[in-house]
């Protein structure tokens, strides 16, 4: 077989198909595949190599055919893409970029912060990796005190641990300033708790602390009632249950009406109609003395609330684990 003739035939067939392509009767991929594809005419010519008498010459001719067609095809891609740009239809509606939103827990945190800022509280912060002293001892939890059992946590090494509550910030705040102190401190906390509808091993709290002359339990009740009504609406009720925290005396757990069932009882509130959102109390005089405040002159209240629990109530979310699963369908609702 004459390789030159074969190459000429392929070239003229390419010219024919090029016209079809330019007329819009053949698409680019089909044109390219017909000549340069794995099963295209050029590859087919190469596969007939053993039939050509002068194989070296045949190789040269077919290689230069392949290069020539590849160049032509490549120049077509450039032309077509610039042709496409020219045909850009500016009247088409644009593609909307997917704007992110704040996570519902962050959103809730900011709402809570705004309510307390409006009442005159300031922002305070403290470390998440903390020493036993700030997380427990200075808050009146002696070593081996049974109250530590409910705060089983993750130990880093020695007496360094991941804080179990934001109450450590009470100590940092009081050590760094004289009364009056009126601060809130949001942040992550860690406990060796089994995840369920209302618990997670990592969760967030907001601590509040107010120390001054003549601060009373009545003020604590009034502040919390005003806060709950500002966040959940005027109809929301609060319930104070006697409780124990080593660093407050007296102490209370504060519940609000379950918004999922409106107080009737469901699996979120464990059929009680109430959901616990925070622990509170009057700062124990021992704590005030430990930071160098005179407990005869000063008194104060403190409370710590779970932000996820508040977000669940506010938005009627039945399971706390939804916050961490990152399901975009869930997150987009807020
Ligand atoms: C405390 O942590 C105290 N530090 C609160 C406090 C501060 C009392 C100041 C007095 C004065 P408690 O262990 O009850 O208390 O937790 C407070 C809130 O954190 C709970 O009401 C709950 O809303 C939230 N919380 C606790 N553990 C978890 C958890 N594993 N997952 C999600 N939220 C939790």
Given a cut of 90, is residue 212 above it in pLDDT? yes
CA distance 306 to 324: 15
pLDDT band, residue 86 (cuts 50/70/90): low
Of 151, 190, 278, 302, the one to substitute when testing ligand 1's pocket (max ligand atoms within 8 A of C-beta) is: 278
| Position with higher pLDDT, 68 vs 145 | 68
Q: SS3 for 184?
A: strand
Give the model's pLDDT for residue 78: 64
330 pLDDT above the threshold of 90: yes
Average pLDDT in the 4-26 region?
91
Rounded Cα gap, residues 314 and 306, in angstroms? 12
Residue 294 CA: distances (Å) to CA of 62, 176, 187, 250, 267 = 99, 15, 29, 19, 46
| Domain spans in the chain, listed from the N-terminal domain onward | 3-86, 104-331
Q: Residue 312 half-sphere exposure, CB side, CA atoms within 13 Å?
A: 29
Q: pTM above the 0.85 mark?
A: no
Mutation choice for ligand 1 from 187, 209, 217, 245, CB with most ligand atoms inside 8 A: 245
More confident residue, 74 or 223: 223
Per CATH, the number for 104-331 is 3.30.930.10
User: Which atom number of ligand 1 is nearest to the Cα of residue 164?
Assistant: 2
Which residues have CB under 6 Å of ligand 1? 165, 167, 191, 193, 199-200, 203, 205, 207, 245, 248, 276-281, 302-306, 308-309
**Is there a cis peptide before residue 180, judged by omega within 30 degrees of 0?**
yes
The answer, yes or no, to whether residue 87 has pLDDT greater than 80, is no
C-alpha of residue 94 to centroid of ligand 1, in Å: 48
| Ligand 1: residue whose CA is nearest its atom 26 | 306
Model confidence at 181, in pLDDT bands (50, 70, 90)?
very high
% of the chain at pLDDT higher than 90: 68
* Confidence category of residue 153, pLDDT binned at 50, 70, 90: confident
Cα 250 to the center of its chain, rounded Å: 37
Copy the structure tokens of residue 251: 């102490």
Atom of ligand 1 nearest to the CA of 254: 21
13 Cα: distance to centroid of ligand 1 (angstroms): 80
Continuous H helices in the chain? 3-22, 28-36, 41-47, 55-86, 104-118, 132-135, 168-176, 217-232, 285-290, 307-315, 328-331
Q: pLDDT, tens digit, for every residue of 288-319?
A: 999 999 999 999 999 999 999 999 989 989 89
Q: Return d(Cα 129, Cα 160) in angstroms, integer.
A: 7
- Mean pLDDT, to the nearest integer, of 18-32? 89
pLDDT in tens, 110-137: 999 999 999 999 999 999 999 999 999 9
Q: Is 170 exposed, middle or buried (0-12, 13-18, 19+ CB in 10 A)?
A: buried
Q: Write out the H or E segment, with its range, that includes residue 276.
A: strand 274-283
User: What pLDDT, on a 0 to 100 scale, did the predictor assign at position 269?
Assistant: 81
Pocket test for ligand 1, best of 279, 309, 313 (most atoms within 8 A of CB): 279
**From the centroid of its chain, how far is CA 62?**
59
Distance 231 CA to ligand 1 centre (A): 18
The answer to whether residues 10 and 42 touch, using CB atoms and an 8 Å cutoff, is yes
Q: Please state the three-class secondary structure of 123-181 as a single string.
A: ECCCCCEEEHHHHCHHHCCCCCCHHHHHHCCCEEECCEEECCCCCHHHHHHHHHCCCCE
- What pLDDT was estimated at residue 79? 65
pLDDT at 150: 83
d(CA 18, CA 6): 18
């Amino acid at each position: 077989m004459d390789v030159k003739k074969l190459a000429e035939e392929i070239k003229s067939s390419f010219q024919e198909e090029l016209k079809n392509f330019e007329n819009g009767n053949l698409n680019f991929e089909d044109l390219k595949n017909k000549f340069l594809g794995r099963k295209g005419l050029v590859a087919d010519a190469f596969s007939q190599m053993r039939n050509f008498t002068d194989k070296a010459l045949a190789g040269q001719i077919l290689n230069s055919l392949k290069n020539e067609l590849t160049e032509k095809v490549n120049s077509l891609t450039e032309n077509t893409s610039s042709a496409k740009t020219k045909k850009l239809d500016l009247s088409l509606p644009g593609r909307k970029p997917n704007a992110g939103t704040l996570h519902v827990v962050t959103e809730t945190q900011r709402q809570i912060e705004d309510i307390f800022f409006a009442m005159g509280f300031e922002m305070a912060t403290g470390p998440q990796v903390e020493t036993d002293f700030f997380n427990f001892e200075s808050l009146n939890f002696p070593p081996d005190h049974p109250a530590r059992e409910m705060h089983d946590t993750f130990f880093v090494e020695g007496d360094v641990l991941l804080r179990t509550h934001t109450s450590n910030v009470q100590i940092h705040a009081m050590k760094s300033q004289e009364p009056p102190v009126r601060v809130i401190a949001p942040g992550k906390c860690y406990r060796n708790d089994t995840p369920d509808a209302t618990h997670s091993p990592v969760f967030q709290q907001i601590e509040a602390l107010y120390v001054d002359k003549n601060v009373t339990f009545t003020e604590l009740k009034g502040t919390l009632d005003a806060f709950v009504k500002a966040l959940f609406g005027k109809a929301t009720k609060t319930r104070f249950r006697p409780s124990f925290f080593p660093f407050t005396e007296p102490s209370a757990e504060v519940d609000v009406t379950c918004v999922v069932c409106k107080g009737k009882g469901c699996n979120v509130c464990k059929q009680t109609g109430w959901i616990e959102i925070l622990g509170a109390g009057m700062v124990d005089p021992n704590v005030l003395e430990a930071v160098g405040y005179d407990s005869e002159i000063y008194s104060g209240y403190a409370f710590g609330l779970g932000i996820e629990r508040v977000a669940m109530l506010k938005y009627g979310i039945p399971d706390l684990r939804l916050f961490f699963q990152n399901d975009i369908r869930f997150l987009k609702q807020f």
